[in-house]
Amino acid sequence: MDLKQKPGLSDKDLDLDKFDAGQVASDNWAKKLGLLVFEVVKVVLISLAIIVPIRLFLVQPFYVEGASMEPNFHDKEYLIINEISYRFDQPQRGEVVIFKSPADDRVYYIKRIIGLPGEEVEVRSGHIYVNGQELKETYVAKFSNDNIAAITLKASEYYVLGDNRTNSHDSRKFGAINKDRIIGKVWFRGWPADRISTFNLPSY
């Protein structure tokens, strides 16, 4: 008995090789898409695994707000803070640090470390005396006229001041700060472009 094609179908329509090739092409496309998605997800996860710990435990960005550190740091400058150094080393005199306000954990200050634990700090006519010796501060453009009686810093206490001594809320107002308030030290200025720089300790 002869087989006859149904009306409307041709030999071309019944070519099974055609359908097999189309299915293979579709499968290949889906496989390539799946591999692409996998690679993208892998790159994102690896990037997060590297960036998140660095962001949380090593370095952190901050913006300067206000004029308390002029002429060395200006309003809206973008700074990178080294958060890990003080896990191994003690803060040094002259380092510029970011710390939580003694009165409010939500408020952050940027100041320079002037007095170290165990030292006696006194302010005479705006100039700083540490253990009776005047501190030569070349980074201060204009001194205040403050006179503050000598205080002896306790263990883990630091005396911090803004470089702009006539316009800074600092240890002259709220006293010494404890080390556990310090977030980290200023490591790098990333903005503005014409002021990009790293920071070295001043000479005293």
Residues known to be catalytic: 68, 111
Rounded CA separation 96/59 (Å): 15
Rounded CA separation 63/76 (Å): 6
> Is residue 56 classed as helix, strand or coil in its secondary structure?
helix
Rounded CA separation 28/34 (Å): 10
User: Which residue type occupies 20?
Assistant: D
Among residues 90, 139, 88, the alpha carbon closest in space to that of 112 is found at: 139
- Those residues whose C-beta lies under 8 Å from the C-beta of residue 12, and which sit 6 or more positions away, are 18
Sign of the Cα pseudo-torsion (76, 77, 83, 85, in order): negative
- Those residues whose C-beta lies under 8 Å from the C-beta of residue 100, and which sit 6 or more positions away, are 107, 108, 109, 181, 183
